[in-house]
A and B are shown apart, each in its own frame.
Chain A
């Protein structure tokens, strides 16, 4: 599924946060959205899924204009948004959390419950535990599992490594590699730019609500100037 964002402007109240973002994620591509704190990465994703509708500009999925469409309809077209932070349904059990994900129409049947539980065995063990009691890493698995169950045709991952232990970040890397191999379309934001660039085909760097730079992941990985700008530690 192809996502095309054209010149979107998004406001929080009076503050003009996105000032004309344009980007594209082609079918089967993994694209990284990078930038410093407050650059507008999360807002870009929220605008795309319709949680914070843009005032101007267009968002297209394949050839359909989805600008201003209600979020649940965008989701049913096959877009899964995985927000950052502890966003599992806290009062529901893990199993109930998973049961609430609805498959988009025309979505492939690649991710069954069995396969999700096989990929995240921890979720199987935690089945009857209240999601609010899970650790950050477990919540991240649950959010991902929930998103995959909807058999997304495009996946939006906001800061998936945030607050995870190195071991779980490594797991996450393996899952991303699987998604990439299956040619799932992915848009990912990361503080940990090198992590995202390891799996991305291309990357955008945004600053103050504008795209400042666009390049292949390969060249972004190698540009020390970019890395210094993003504050990437050489060891990451």
Chain B
């Protein structure tokens, strides 16, 4: 490989890993606190992207930046509604019931999206500041890719600071460890759970906005991303944010290099990798065994 193609591939790996990470981090955070695999997490991603196309169409040039702020918040509000109206009633139920309920939510949200935005492929333009390439080591690196990587890096740092440096983050970890004791020491546990769920939804929505200028915004992107994010979370270990980061990088490597070397086998590699990890470490690379 030449120097320029190494750089091109490296940027490709990091960009893929970045979008995956933002979605998988939310999925895994929600799993950790709520012990629930939220299939509808993919809907939040899709709605982030669709809402951005609508806002961008109305607002023109500044639309992207407005979307970047507004859409994740709207999606977070959707998350609050979903948690309070539906999931809260299911925490004491079996995993299968919860899984089916969130799957049903995914289908409902997909139907609503179809009514609101139709079947056609939509897209938005990246803002002019993020257009173009710059030359580096003989490769033409898209500025937008660096933007995506930068957003994901900020999300990663933010999550790290929240979970290890703030009392609120400690409370979130305490919910995972022992919700009863946390309640008995004066913390409003249901509020924390709603907050975690909203945060996860917001990250998925953010990721949806960020990919909108680069990828086709269309029906089916919800299911596609949830499968990928789920694989990432399983490989990294459900519940572990570090695991989500490493898992995203692994998938980024396999997808990018797979596409270069053996395009038709790339996705097979990913599934094979997941099966391998599950066989050797069923709780994932960074996960902890179920209590």
Interface, chain A (partner B; CB < 8 A):
49, 51, 70-72, 75-76, 80-81, 83, 87-92, 96, 99-102, 104, 146-147, 150
| Contact present for B185 and A146 (CB under 8 Å) | yes
Bound complex: CA A165 to CA B173 (Å): 30
Question: Chain A residues with Cβ under 8 A from B279's Cβ?
Answer: none
Known: A51-B183, A75-B186, A150-B185. 19 other contacts (CB 8 A): A49-B184, A72-B183, A72-B186, A72-B188, A75-B183, A75-B184, A80-B185, A83-B184, A87-B178, A89-B170, A89-B181, A90-B177, A91-B176, A92-B173, A92-B174, A92-B177, A101-B185, A104-B186, A150-B186
Question: A51, A70, A92, A102: which contacts B185 (Cβ < 8 A)?
Answer: A102
**Distance in angstroms between the alpha carbons of A13 and B189 in the assembled complex:** 23
Which residues of chain A have C-beta atoms less than 8 A from B214's C-beta?
none
Contacting A at CB under 8 A, from B158-186, are 167, 170-171, 173-174, 176-178, 180-186
For B178, B180, B181, the residue with the greatest tally of chain A CB atoms inside 10 Å of its CB is: B181
Q: What residues on B are CB-neighbors of A76 within 8 Å?
A: 186
**Quick one: which of A88, A92, A96, A102 contacts B186, CB cutoff 8 A?**
A102
CB-CB under 8 A from B131, the residues of chain A are none
Of residues 135 to 174 in B, which have CB atoms within 8 Å of A's CB atoms? 167, 170-171, 173-174
Closest A-B pairs by Cβ, 7 of them: A102-B186, A71-B183, A75-B186, A89-B177, A89-B174, A81-B184, A72-B188
| Best-buried of A75, A88, A100, A147 by chain B (most CB within 10 Å) | A100
- Tell me the nearest residue of chain A to B177, going by C-beta: A89
Asked if A89 and B173 sit within 8 Å, CB to CB, the answer is yes
- Say how far A136's CB is from chain B's closest CB, in angstroms: 16
How far apart are the CA atoms of A143 and B190 in the complex, in Å?
22
CB distance from B88 to the nearest CB of A (A): 13
Q: Are B174 and A71 in contact (CB under 8 A)?
A: no
Q: CB distance B188 to A70 under 8 Å?
A: yes
State the Cβ distance, B28 to closest chain A Cβ, in Å: 15
Confirm or deny: B187 has a beta carbon within 8 angstroms of a beta carbon on chain A.
Answer: yes
Contacts of B174 in A (CB 8 A): 89, 92, 100
A72 touches B189 (CB 8 A): yes
Of all chain A residues, the one with the shortest Cβ separation from B170 is: A96
Known: A89-B177, A89-B178, A90-B177. A101 touches B184 (CB 8 A): no
Subset of 6 A-B contacts with CB under 8 Å: A70-B190, A71-B183, A72-B187, A75-B183, A80-B185, A89-B173
CB distance from A157 to the nearest CB of B (A): 12
**Across the interface, which residues of A come within 8 angstroms of B190, CB to CB?**
70
State in angstroms the CA–CA spacing of A92 and B188 once bound together.
19
CA distance in complex: A150, B187 (Å): 12
- CB of B184 within 8 A of CB of A80, answer yes
A16 to chain B, nearest CB (A): 20
Closest to A156 in B: B184
State whether A91 touches B185 (Cβ < 8 A): no
**Chain B residues whose CB sits within 8 angstroms of the CB of A96 once the complex forms:** 170
Contacts of B189 on A, CB cut-off 8 Å? 71-72
